[in-house]
Structures are given as C-alpha cells and as structure tokens.
Chain A
C-alpha cells in the first residue's frame, strides 16, 4: 500500500476517534465548558496539557530548526520546558486554589479592577490569535503534502474538525480529545526516531543514540562526525552556536517566562480537583513533554547527517522521490549554479545550490531514512494531532475571554447560565472562522508573530500573576501600569526590529543591549516588574479583603469558596 492510502486510513481513524470523544463528552454547563467541570484527574490533565502545549511548532518545526542551528537551537529546548518549573512552583497551585475560570478572572479579581481585567483580556486575545493562525497553517501544509489536497481545503477540513469538538464539548471535549491526541502525536514522533536511531547507531533509545558511535565501523561518535561534516562544508561546528551568549540567555528566559504566562496552558490547571493535583499534573505534563523534547535534538542530529550524506556532491538526477515531492511544495529548492549537475550544499550563499526549509525535516525524515509507508502516514497524523490540539486549546481561551470576561463580568453581569453558554459557543465559532481566515491568507508576519506571542505573555501576564501571589502589597495601579509598560515596549520593539512597521528594519548591531526581538520579552518582563513595584510603593495599599484573598490562595485548604465545596 502506498503512503497516500496509509495516510487516509490513519488520519481517518484518528479523526473519527476525536469526533467520537467529542460526542461522548459534550458540555452542559458553563463550568464544564470553561474548566471541564473541575474534576479532571492529574494524569489526564498532564496528557492534555502536553498535547495542548506541543503545537505544530514543537512537532514539525523544532527538530528541523535545531538541525540547522545546532547549539543555538537549545534556546527552544530549555525555554519551552524550563517554563514548566516556573509554572509548577510559582503559578499553577495558587491559581488552582483561587479556583475561577480564566486568567483575566484572576487579574481582574486580584487587582479589584475592571481595567485590569480588560487589559488582561486584550493580552490574552492577541497572544492566542497569533498563535492559532500558525496552527491552522500547519494543518494546511500537512494536508497538502500528504493527502494532496489544496492547502486551503486542508485548512477548512481542520477548521471543521476543531469547530466540531471545541464548540460541542468546550473544555470537557477538548480535554479528552487532547488525551487521545497526545497518544497519537508521541507515538508518531517516537516510532521514526527509534527506527532511525537503530539504523544509524544500533541503539534503540534516541537520547542515547545521539551520543553513541556511528554504525559504519569508523568508531566515530555521531556528534563528532556531524561537527566534522558541518565544518567541512563551511558551517559552524554543530555544538557551537552563532548567537551571542547574552542573546541565548535572553531568548531562553523570554521563552521560559512566556511559556509560564501563556493563558491556554495556565487555564488547564483550573480543571483539576485539588491544589496538590495541580502540582502533580504540572510534573506529569513536563515528563510527557520531555519525552518529545529530549528526542527532538537526537532527531535533529540524525536528520542533519542523513540530509548531508544524501545530497552533498550527489547528482541531482539521482535524487530519491521525496526530494522531488518536496520540491513541488516549494519548501525545498535546487538551483544548479555551477552547472555540474551535482548538488553543492555549503554555507557560502554564493556557491550554495540547495535551500531547505527547516519545517520539512521532521516530515521528510522518515522518507529520507527509507522507512515504511505507514510510518510516514503516522507522522502526518501526529502533526495534525499536534496542530489541532493546540488550536482547540487556544480557541477555548478566546471564547472564554469573550463570553466570560467581556460579556458576563464586564458588560452584562445579568446574563443567564444558558445565555453565557450560547455566547461561549458563538465566540468559539467566530474565533475558528477568524483563525481559518488567517490560515488561508497568512499575513507575512505569522512566523515572526509567534515569537511575539511569547514575548507578550512574558511581558504582561507573568509579572502580574507572580506579584499577585507573592507580593501582598501589589495594588491595581502597580499591576496595570506594569502590564501596559511591558506590552508597549514589547510591541514597539517587535514593530521596529522584527516586523519593520516603523520604517526599515535596523540591522542587528542596533539592537538594544545586543538582544534580538525574540529575546526582548525578558527585558520587557523586567521593566514590567520594576514599574509595577515602583508604582505600587507610591500608591495606596490594596484593600483588606484583597490582602486576605492573597493569604487564602497561599494555603491549600482553608476558606475555599463555599460553592466549590459542594459535591457535583
């Protein structure tokens, strides 16, 4: 059977599974719609968080980017996992104790202010929309390559699936589909990695294969070999980077803090029953994420060696089928500059003849390594699971921000439970349509803007939440001015140095302190902290009931709201 039939079968089965789960776990109340009723087990929540978190970027792009940047790619590995330590130690248990529905809920209540809530809603919407557009695009690319449908058709199919289970099931439906999606995506990521690790080193554990000797009898370690191949072609050695140490530091910090501040991740910890479950499920989530994140750098090494050995100085006419297939998508291109019919793949852009988009490395890897057709199909299903699970989580944040924070808590407090549920579903439908529109007509800045999402989350939510828990003296004046300063600086820096909205993009030597736009989130976060603390010192202390609220969220079991204690 060929790759395409396998893909139709495997993708078809997984989609049927997601829809089945959605029908089984329909949401009947707003509490079920926003937080799955609040009774999700720590393991299920850990799996759902892992799928929620690992997006098309983690599954498809990350290993490819590491493959082409070597040590520099470590910023994603450390940044996107280290954030969970902050989340588990500084945020999750207290937000669970607080026990409401959304992140703006916490900001609005803790800072006793509608303004604070609206600023938080605004940040949540920007972060989530930019992120979701990227997911829809990922869905489109996978469909077009493996099912040979048009990219736009792919986006629309993805929209319908997400629409179905996000609108019907709310958080409850999303949670259990994400559990299934985690299983699909981790299996799909590990199978080819294990196959290739055995092929190249004889060691079935990719994390160990990465440090093992090559299977060709040379006795050379894999990483040594790759360093040699890279420097021979004029690239930097794989284990050295091109970025400055300060920039690596800043990017890692921005990604960690951004991860901890992303509303669609935080809100998952509202779904478990107790404070101790929130801590435990953060640990389980990171454990499940780490399986992929420690495998990805191994895949990066394998894929890079395979790619160089397959193409470098080899005749173009002799290239295998996958090469031609990816050329058709435009993600791989070859131009015979010196007319010798061979592929020169080198660092020097004047001589280099091959341009490879990092996004294709994970998708093409099984083909490059000649793995069976069903493995290739599995990778397609895995990337769809990764993209759809994240998209669904983000859509829920958007819909809850609108129906709960804007409508119920700000503009129309008298709305009935039923009315709010309808509003939540309509908001989800609207959000899917907007996300789909961006998937079909991607603004040129989508890739750039995903980095903005992390920077924004780092610059806005993280300081406001951490100070809200750990600094009783923090008042609304401090928190609001901190968030506004943080976001403004981040938006300004991105607009100027990344998106070029304020005239020509200045060269890297004009970056503030030598920090790239990707890493600027850490600077904006520090500004937020400083402004918030300074302003709060010169303005009135928060009211007594707020100080008591802070004391209460610090202790796991006292003074829970009475309604939280009733059995459901």
Chain B
C-alpha cells in the first residue's frame, strides 16, 4: 500500500486519478463516521440532557433523576468515549489507505 502511494505521488496522470478516487473514498468514510458520532453527541447532550430532561427525570436510577444525570455526568462520559472511538476508527481507516506512514 505504501509503495503504491510512493509510486502514485511520483508519477503521472492515470495514477493521479487513482489517487483522487482513493482520497474521495477516504473522505466520504470520514464524513460518515463524523455524522454518526456527532449524532450521538447531539443525542446525549441536547436531547437527553436538555430537550427531554423533564421526561427522563421521571425515571430515577440510584440517587439520580436520569435527565439530570445526563446533563451533569452522562453526557461528559459519552463525549470522552466518542473521541476515543473516533481515534480508533480513523487509525484503522488511515492504515487501510496507507495514510498512517507519516514522517
């Protein structure tokens, strides 16, 4: 993969086209990941923690009304997990495309 990349960057037109399509595919997959992760980001903070907070507060888990827990605890845990999932997905994607070999 890496050797191919080297070849691509150093040579002519048809290769450049291959490179372009592989870049497009990489970018599309990236955008797909972003859409999924940011939807979860929106759901846990804005939907669970704000819009539906009163409904969720009817449910009590341990000492926490659930909506209040999302707003003051849960959303933050989810944020941390989201970034690490993104790191994992992108590292995998970089590797599959040979983009992980940086100087």
Contact = CB atoms under 8 A, between A and B. Distances in A.
B102 A286 contact: no
B49 A78 contact: yes
A212 B76 contact: no
B6 to A, nearest CB: 10
Residue among B23, B38, B84, B101 with the highest chain A CB neighbour number at 10 A:
B84
Counting contact residues on chain B (CB < 8 A from A), the size range is 35 or more
Nearest to A71: B68
Q: Chain B interface secondary structure, helix, strand, loop or mixed?
A: helix
Contacts, number: 140
B83 A286 contact: yes
Contacts of A248: 50
A558 B34 contact: no
B79 A286 contact: yes
Contacts of B41: 82, 85
A493 to B, nearest CB: 22
Interface in B20-59: 23, 26-27, 30, 34, 37-38, 41, 45-46, 49-51, 53, 57
Interface residues of A, number: 53
Interface string A538-568: 0000000000000100111111100011000
A353 interface: no
Contact of B45 (A78, A212, A221): A78
B53 A71 contact: yes
Residue among B9, B57, B71, B84 with the highest chain A CB neighbour number at 10 A:
B71
Contact of A82 (B34, B68, B79, B102): B79
A210 B103 contact: no
Interface in B79-99: 79-80, 82-84, 86-87, 90-91, 94, 99
Contact of A297 (B26, B30, B61, B72): B72
B15 interface: no
A290 B53 contact: no
A84 B94 contact: no
Interface of B: 5, 9, 23, 26-27, 30, 34, 37-38, 41, 45-46, 49-51, 53, 57, 61-65, 68-69, 71-73, 75-77, 79-80, 82-84, 86-87, 90-91, 94, 99-103
